[in-house]
Structure formats: C-alpha cells, structure tokens
C-alpha cells in the first residue's frame, strides 16, 4: 500500500477546488448554454460531477448507494439553474465529503462494492473513477473556455 | 495506506490503453493538424504525455530526472511525425513502465522528490499528476473528436 487515505482526500478536494474555479471562469450564460460538437454545456457536466461526488461519498462511507436513475443529473428533481446555486451546492458537497471521509475505515478501500447499484469493483477504483471523470469533463470545459477566448484556470494549481 | 502499488500500475496502464485508442481514433491529418481555440493538435498533447510518462517512470524508479528543457516535447530532437511512429513510441514506453515498476520499493512513494528538476512533492503526488495530466488532455481530445463528428472511445473502458 503506497497512498494514504488522508492524501486521497486532499487530492480529491484539490481537484474540486480547481473545478470550482472553472465554474466561476465561464460567463454565466455560456456556462449554461455554450456547447461544441453537440456536447453538454459545462453546467451539466458540473452537475454530473456534483451528483457523483455527493452520491459517491455517501456510498463509499456508508455502503448505501443512490441508484443511477435517482442521481440529481438524471432525475426530474429541480437542478441548480444559476451559477450561484451551482456553487452553493458545490460547497455543500465539499462539507459532506470532509465530514464523512474520517469515518471511512481504511479497510473499506479494498472491499468490493457496486457503485450506484451498477459498477462493481474495489472501492479505491470506484473512488478514483469519480476524480478521473471530473478531470475528463473539466478538460472538455477547458476547450470551451479557450474557444470563448478565456484562459482556463491553471491546471497545476489546486489551492 | 489504502491503495496498493500494483493497483496504481494497472490504473495508469488502463488510462494509457484508452489514450492509445484516442490516437487511433483521429484521422491522421487531423491528429497532427486539428485545433480548437488556438490549442495544440492532439499529437502534440500525446507527445507531452509520452515524454512525461517516459521521464516520469525513470525519475520515480531511479531518482534520475530528465530536466524539463530536455523532455522530448520541449527539445529539438526529432519527434514522431506519423501516427505509426507515435504508437510505436507509445508501446515502447508501456514496456519501460512495466519493466521498471516492480523495481520501485513501496517506501519510494512517500519520499519527497523534485520531478523533472522542477516540481517538488511526495512521489505519489508526482505520479498522480502524470495520470491527471493525461486525462485532462485526453478530455480535450474528446472535444476535438466530437467536433470532427467522431465518437470518442468509451471513457470507462480501460481494457
């Protein structure tokens, strides 16, 4: 074993701080409206990251997984419709992660579980997937920003 | 400690297999020529991933880091100019990683080192950065592909 549980939390939250700056970097109308190649606007990608993070930390910490169809970005529930609402929800999930993380026993990470009732694997792999998915979509968002003539927030800055 | 050394290797090589499929998915002229928003073509991003992976595994395994200016994508050395050359170099680095990884003592991952003579941190964080950087640029490549009317290889498939 070569990576500590606390280091993974810092790694995740560092990426989430960077993604938060991406949400702030978009002009609000473009956040909800701009698209390339028929892809979703960045707000929809951010909403996916949010519901996977909220459902993910709950599932990892408690073993209770929200099913895929009940995740916010798939459900009929009202979603954040402004940047302020999106950021408020982002910060709420940040707090949930910080509060649940210390309650996860280290042995949990090598257990096999089925994320969101659908994807089976060791918990560390399910966890890494959440971060990878966020980096992937944020990378897409960086092309949106460049295409809008806006310099994306620095990739290496996780402060 | 919650993630095993062998799991990190599999995680990395899984991402590299996916990126390899992205290189194959581009029409060859677009691989070297297509751009959005003044960004680099995907071939240049792939070359960056390659030189960071080759220099990264050497630095992590041996403590000998190539300096930033001598990395392939920054140096004046001739770079792969066709897809076949790029893929051949990709596969060569895959073999280097597989061969050096088992020689890394587990304690190495929590040592502090300076990647490429420039970025200081614990080795596990320097390692995660290599993967994150690849996911980030591959995400950008997925927008290029969508914009060209091509479905990107599936993100979840790391086979």
- Above pLDDT 70, what percent of chain B? 100
pLDDT tens by residue, B26-48: 999 999 999 999 999 999 999 99
pLDDT in tens, A97-125: 999 999 999 999 999 999 999 999 999 99
- The rounded distance, in Å, linking the Cα atoms of A51 and A44 is 11
Contact partners, residue A137, CB within 8 Å, separation at least 6: A42, A45, A46, A48, A49, B139
Q: Which pLDDT belongs to residue A142?
A: 98
pLDDT at A24 over 80: yes
B150 touches chain A (CB under 8 A): no
**Is residue A77 over pLDDT 90?**
no
pLDDT in the model for residue B72? 81
Residues from chain B that touch A2, judged by Cβ atoms under 8 A, are 1, 3-5, 8, 106, 109-110, 124
Q: Is the pTM of this model over 0.95?
A: yes
**Kind of pairing, strands B112-115 and A119-122?**
unpaired
| ipTM of predicted complex | 0.97
CA distance B39 to B53: 21
Sorted by sequence, the CB contacts under 8 Å of residue A107 that are 6+ apart come out as: none
Average of per-residue pLDDT across A84-100: 98
Q: How far is A125 from chain B (nearest CA, A)?
A: 8
A135/B136 CB distance under 8 A: yes
Q: Which of A1, A2, A10, A19 to mutate to test the interface with B (most CBs of B within 10 A)?
A: A2
- The model's confidence at residue B140, banded by pLDDT at 50, 70 and 90, is very high
| A145, pLDDT greater than 90 | yes
* CA angle at A10 for the pair A79 and A40, rounded to the nearest 5°: 30
Instruction: Inspect the interface and report whether the beta carbons of B143 and A36 lie closer than 8 Å.
Output: yes
DSSP letter for each residue of A55-76: HHHHHHHHS----GGGSTTTSS
Q: Closest partner residue to B37 among A125, A133, A143, by Cβ? A: A143
* Percent of chain B residues topping a pLDDT of 90: 92
Q: Which residues of B touch A143 (CB under 8 A)?
A: 36-37, 39, 140, 143-144
H-type alpha helices, B26-122: 28-33, 42-62, 83-100
Q: B143 and A138 in contact by Cβ < 8 A?
A: no
Rounded to whole angstroms, the Cα distance separating A15 from A7 reads 12
């Amino acid at each position: 074993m070569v990576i500590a549980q606390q280091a993974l939390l810092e790694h995740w939250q560092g990426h989430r701080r960077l993604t938060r700056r991406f949400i702030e970097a978009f002009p609000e109308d473009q956040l909800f409206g701009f698209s390339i190649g028929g892809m979703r606007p960045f707000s929809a990608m951010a909403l996916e990251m949010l519901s996977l993070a909220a459902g993910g930390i709950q599932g990892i910490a408690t073993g209770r997984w929200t099913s895929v169809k009940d995740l916010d970005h798939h459900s009929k529930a009202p979603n954040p419709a402004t940047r302020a609402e999106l950021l408020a929800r982002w910060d709420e999930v940040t707090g949930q992660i910080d509060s649940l993380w210390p309650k996860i026993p280290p042995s949990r990470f090598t257990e096999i579980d089925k994320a969101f009732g659908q994807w089976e694997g060791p918990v560390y792999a399910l966890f890494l997937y959440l971060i990878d998915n966020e980096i992937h979509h944020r990378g897409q968002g960086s092309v949106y920003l460049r295409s809008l003539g806006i310099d994306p927030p620095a990739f290496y800055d996780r402060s």
